Structure 1
């Protein structure tokens, strides 16, 4: 900490403390990879999404690639729409048979996934919301990974690692962490700040992110305490006003975690794959090279690499679901390979680095100990020259995505 100019911080709370000692997360859907089952309807209660009733009476539509109507696919009151969909797809092993089905199926699956994850209240607007998420990608990436002097990637990584620890202390939502790092990346490029005030800048970015994403906020005195009271409340407020003015009060950001959870839900990924992908995705926050990539590209690479590392046994149903999910990817194969190599290097060295907050965070039972998985030590060698291993299991799916995006 002395090398970077940071003040000595107060000891942070232990990330390994018992579950009952922790405060309940503010937004459960982003903090647990297990999707909640739909609540059975009480007697006389109507199902959600009654706006779909009239659609059931419509004939099969050819527009927008929808070739299955709601009467066949089913908006069922008992929550069995997923099983009905997979039964319709059972036996379709070749990608050629799925090419006509994918656009309509993807749209229906996306509506189900966004509803389960709590991203929408009305399925009617699911595709519009997702389209807006995709259009906002260009605003979330930076043209260059270079930082203004005197900052370095190492200094930035140490600060982000410290923010991850503070984020864990207050049990903020996962979106808060991704937004805080995004605001920090923007602020470092737009605001002239000295090394001595870098820690204050990071804390302000986390505080602003929590105001946007969380319901319960810490007192400013708590924030100052974690910085060993090296900064006063007045300094924190002045820096907050400065950041807001320089960023034009624009705190919008579409975190890559949303794309990861959506894709994993559509692909029917296991809990271990989701936690592994979330671990790899959070490692990207520490690497300055990843700021030039769009959130959907980072999410795709993390999920691809997680599947590659774990190498779970697949079934025809899971491969069908994965084929539909990969239609969300707008990442070219060279870009996907490059990101996977960056994440593989980060994962293979995470246990020996000074910045270990993410490694420790994902080494506990709640996260299935994914950061300690032995396969991660072989992740870099599995990439091979030019990412040949990725292509060997991607196969025709990657070819389909390239020809349709």
Structure 2
């Protein structure tokens, strides 16, 4: 007989699944104590870490100033002095101390815990972060402006380019950097040139500067490069003009977006030099200066001090620039006074010329760091240059500031209170 094929009996799908789960469950063990907790059934909060708030840390710092040291009492949730350390029970090895925020501690204090004493926070003297910064600033000697000093940066608080948070520190650094590259009396070491030849060169460079329509920063940096190079190396008379155009070429590359080319300076000098000579002199100047071109010139301080001369207008700004450029042409000013003092004296002489009362304010003294007595000698020298400008043969600066675009400030009468007769 043919045997019949017996079909396997199908079982419900859920049964196999349950059996498999049962086998797996018997093979696995539940994780127990891994050794970092001590179970105390009498206290359900025994395993919670003890927390130290920020105010408690501040109390530690305050006690440290009084030559007392506080240690945390993790049992009572408080602090004890160092001389009471024997009386305070030591924390168990399994207890963990966690520093938590004050807000988190306040939420936990609202929970009704038995046997817990709430501390009176009003009796805790906490030193804030701002008070620490104020104490450090006072210790560093930073003077706070008085009521008579105007905050000249208040209108620029939303201007990111003004850098109002750092502007005071920037100008403190500028004044410290003046001593790194001073211009000494170098004419005694120059056998072939003198102060008059330098004035002729500067007068010609002013015309070149106007011809190329360069920035004011370029002019002041050019003069700085010329004076620093002449104080390091003796230059023949026939190469003095070459030093001038090479210095302006360097300053243009540093300050200008579109600097004039070497051929432009060769043409402006009436082909007195060839292109290779300019390039060689440029390399010589940079080598002697060790490529140190980021220096505080008088223009850096003029921008800041004109802003401090409130109220300031276009006439005031042009008068300050006229006196500053006029003084830079004279060797005695550059060799005797620092750039910041030249800028501050130009503002003082300009206010005196325009009869702005008072001639020197608390705001100007605060931002410049100079008093009226300190600036008087340099300002009198500038006023004497202003008086002699109409009769001087070197008239490039005088003609520049006689134009209506410069408010014709050169045609105004010099300051009487700073004149030689007074």
**1:2-401 alignment, distance < 5 Å:** 62=134, 64=137, 101-102=145-146, 108-110=151-153, 120=161, 122-144=163-185, 146-147=187-188, 148-268=190-310, 269-291=312-334, 292-312=336-356, 322-331=361-370, 335-373=374-412, 375-376=413-414, 379=415, 381-383=416-418
Q: Hey, what does 1:19 align to over in structure 2?
A: none
Question: Residue by residue, what CA displacement relative to the aligned partner does 1:23-44 show, whole Å, maximum 9, x if unpaired?
Answer: xxxxxxxxxxxxxxxxxxxxxx
Alignment partner of 2:270: what SS?
A: coil
**Equivalent pair of 1:277/1:306 in contact (CA under 8 Å):** yes
- Residue 121 (structure 1) shift: 5.2
Assess, with a 3 A threshold, how the Cα gap between structure 1 residues 338 and 326 changes in structure 2: closer, same or farther. Answer: same
Assess, with a 3 A threshold, how the Cα gap between structure 1 residues 267 and 156 changes in structure 2: closer, same or farther. Answer: same
Return the alpha-carbon distance in structure 2 between the equivalents of residues 104 and 141 of structure 1: 34
Question: Residue by residue, what CA displacement relative to the aligned partner does 1:291-323 show, whole Å, maximum 9, x if unpaired?
Answer: 231111011111111111111366xxx98xx32
Assess, with a 3 A threshold, how the Cα gap between structure 1 residues 233 and 358 changes in structure 2: closer, same or farther. Answer: same
Assess, with a 3 A threshold, how the Cα gap between structure 1 residues 233 and 152 changes in structure 2: closer, same or farther. Answer: same
Return the alpha-carbon distance in structure 1 between the equivalents of residues 417 and 186 of structure 2: 26
Q: Hey, what does 1:34 align to over in structure 2?
A: none
Assess, with a 3 A threshold, how the Cα gap between structure 1 residues 200 and 325 changes in structure 2: closer, same or farther. Answer: same
- Residue 270 (structure 1) shift: 2.9
Question: Residue by residue, what CA displacement relative to the aligned partner does 1:133-166 show, whole Å, maximum 9, x if unpaired?
Answer: 1211223432336352221111000000000110
Return the alpha-carbon distance in structure 2 between the equivalents of residues 240 and 287 of structure 1: 24
Assess, with a 3 A threshold, how the Cα gap between structure 1 residues 100 and 222 changes in structure 2: closer, same or farther. Answer: closer
State the TM-score, normalized to the length of structure 2.
0.61
**Equivalent pair of 1:221/1:233 in contact (CA under 8 Å):** yes
Alignment partner of 1:161: what SS?
A: helix
Return the alpha-carbon distance in structure 1 between the equivalents of residues 409 and 201 of structure 2: 24
**Equivalent pair of 2:184/2:231 in contact (CA under 8 Å):** no
Alignment partner of 1:124: what SS?
A: coil
- Residue 273 (structure 1) shift: 1.9
Alignment partner of 2:244: what SS?
A: helix
- Residue 114 (structure 1) shift: 9.9
Alignment partner of 1:366: what SS?
A: helix
Question: Residue by residue, what CA displacement relative to the aligned partner does 1:254-308 show, whole Å, maximum 9, x if unpaired?
Answer: 1212222212212322322221111000111111011231111011111111111
Structure 1 portions without partners, runs of 5+: 1-56, 66-98, 390-405
Assess, with a 3 A threshold, how the Cα gap between structure 1 residues 368 and 356 changes in structure 2: closer, same or farther. Answer: same
Which structure dedicates a bigger proportion of its chain to helix? Answer: 1
Alignment partner of 1:382: what SS?
A: coil
Alignment partner of 1:133: what SS?
A: helix
